[in-house]
Amino acid sequence: MFMWIILGIIVLVAVFVIITYNGLIKLKNRVQEADSDIDVQLKRRYELIPNLIETVKGYAKHEKELFEKVTKERSSLVTGSTAEKVEASNALTDTLKSIFAVAENYPELKANQNFLQLQTDLTDTQDKIMAAQRFYNGNVRDFNTKLQVFPTNLYAKMLGFSEFGFIEAGETEKKNVEVKF
């Protein structure tokens, strides 16, 4: 009788560990999927930028330095960790704002259908990047919470699980926006 009780406890503990382990794997895979979603949107943006640059170049030939800066920042989108890619994406966003400001000086460029479509596509992609980052952070929150709660915290590290980092706003993004009229 005593042996059956011990065997029952061992089976219950084993089932509990298996269920918890599988839950952690499921959450870890969601975080990795969210990370991949960010990469997909960054790649889409990476591919749109040369088209935008070529369209603007035809109108603003003397803005060479700006185009070189965009090209340099664009190349940093495809390497590094998710946080590094997001930081590069944020720097690129600031530079792209400069291109749109340049476009303000060229009325015929502002009216160009290709430019308008590219601008719309980039804005849409930027919105998708932000949504993918929120999705990533939500999955990181769920995974990290699961790792930190009792009793999972007792053995999750032994099973090789560690916390993921959140994507956070850069210092320039935290500053107040100055609006002048």
CB-based burial, 4-13: b 16+ in 10 Å, e otherwise = eeeeeeeeee
The answer to whether the predicted template modeling score (pTM) of the entire model surpasses 0.85 is no
**Can you tell me which residue has the tokens 């500053």?**
175
Domain at 24-161: CATH architecture: Up-down Bundle (1.20)
3-state DSSP helix/strand/coil % of the chain, to nearest 5: 80, 0, 20
From CA 126, how far away is CA 90, in angstroms rounded?
10
pLDDT per residue, tens digit, the chain (181 aa), is 889 999 999 999 999 989 999 999 999 999 999 999 988 888 888 888 888 777 777 666 656 676 777 777 777 777 777 778 778 777 787 777 777 777 777 777 666 777 788 888 888 888 998 899 999 999 999 999 999 999 899 888 888 999 999 988 666 655 654 544 3
From CA 84, how far away is CA 69, in angstroms rounded?
17
**Can you tell me which residue has the tokens 């003397």?**
62
In the chain, where the domains are located: 24-161
Which residues in 1-103 belong to E strands, given as ranges?
none
From CA 179, how far away is CA 177, in angstroms rounded?
6
Q: Which two tokens stand for residue 88?
A: 């590069």
